[in-house]
Amino acid sequence: MNRLILALVVTISACGPIESSEGSAQQTAAPPVLWYEAAVAQPPEGAVPVESGPEISDSPFLEVAFAGDTSFTHGLSSRDPLGGVASLLQVPDLTMVNLESALAEAAVGDAQLKEFTFRSPPEAVALLREAGVDGVALANNHALDYGRPALSRTLELLDEGGVGRAGAGANSAEAFAPMLFVRDGTRVAVLSYSRVLPGSWAALEDRSGVASAYDATRTIEAIEQAAQAADVVVVMVHWGVELDGCPQPYQRSLAATWADAGADLIIGSHPHVLQGVEQIGDAWAVYSTGNFVFPSARQQSAETALFRFTFHDDTISLVVDPLRIAGGRPQAADADSAARILAM
């Protein structure tokens, strides 16, 4: 497969050239061990409280992968949507996607008054888990497409199916709480925020919803708390302008703020096309991961990638695997598509 291996220095790839150098590592995936902050009212059965988790490792070594917007609508769930990439997703220690859809049965919830509403069937959870996806970001502009009943069902289905989640909850404490994983003594905390918020979707102390990136103080506090509990802190964020290949100034500013607060990776979604990759001090930002499993992906929005970060001692390196979406299903990109993807 065509791929680009990056280490140490990159520029905004969608808006300028990428400098590359050799260096990557892989590990065999292991079943996730999840634990939750005490703020979560009802963590999944078997979840381990943070305070009783394993000792923090002095030498993290793991691979964490990210893919873009994922939705199993329009009958896509019945067409083996992840079959073309499952072998790739199962290699990293952790694999995350942005879940751009509510998960619920057809009778649950009512479509909201917006242009596009996405509701994927419950079997999507098993599809994610069996393909190697360990966790999903929920803070986006589709989590409440079918109202709060469908959001509640989404949380329930993910917890029952053993797929981690962050960015939404029964209240703001749960929405801002990270999902956390342990790999060989290394703790990884993953937060999820959205800066694309229809109506009254932001979670409040007494209202379900998603974690709002407009609450900058709250986002920083959550990152700082996560950094105290974990070796690696990831922020998955829904932001930017749809179909725009370059990040907005506020995206770069927020990424720098979150890196200063302790985030090691900032992973963006929402534009539906790839944006750039940038190193901010010791942290990395992928401004948009584009689409992934997405029925309406066409032309440029069908060219995407899997971003695989390896942590080893004080070094973070990146492998970019080009993918092409056909009929909503991601698969390895051909040579021409790969060249365009790696040039973005």
Mean pLDDT by 10 residues, the chain (344 residues): 41 41 29 33 42 44 95 96 97 97 98 96 98 98 98 98 97 97 92 96 98 97 96 97 95 98 98 95 96 91 95 90 95 92 82
Domain count, the chain: 1
Q: Would you state the pLDDT for residue 10? A: 39
On whether residue 13 sits in a domain, the answer given is: yes
On whether residue 270 sits in a domain, the answer given is: yes
Global pTM value: 0.86
> How many Cβ atoms sit within 10 Å of the Cβ of residue 138?
31
On whether residue 284 sits in a domain, the answer given is: yes
Q: Would you state the pLDDT for residue 15? A: 63
The domain in which residue 90 lies consists of: 4-71+83-242+255-306
Coil, helix or strand at residue 301: helix
CA 167-173-177 angle, to 5 degrees, is: 45
Number of helical H runs and strand E runs in the chain? 7, 19
* CATH number for the domain harbouring residue 260: 3.60.21
On whether residue 56 sits in a domain, the answer given is: yes
Sign of torsion over alpha carbons 164, 168, 172, 176: positive
Beta bridge partners of 207: 204
Q: Please state at what angle helix 216-229 crosses helix 249-261, rounded to 10 degrees.
A: 40
On whether residue 329 sits in a domain, the answer given is: no
On whether residue 132 sits in a domain, the answer given is: yes
Q: Would you state the pLDDT for residue 32? A: 31
On whether residue 154 sits in a domain, the answer given is: yes
On whether residue 339 sits in a domain, the answer given is: no
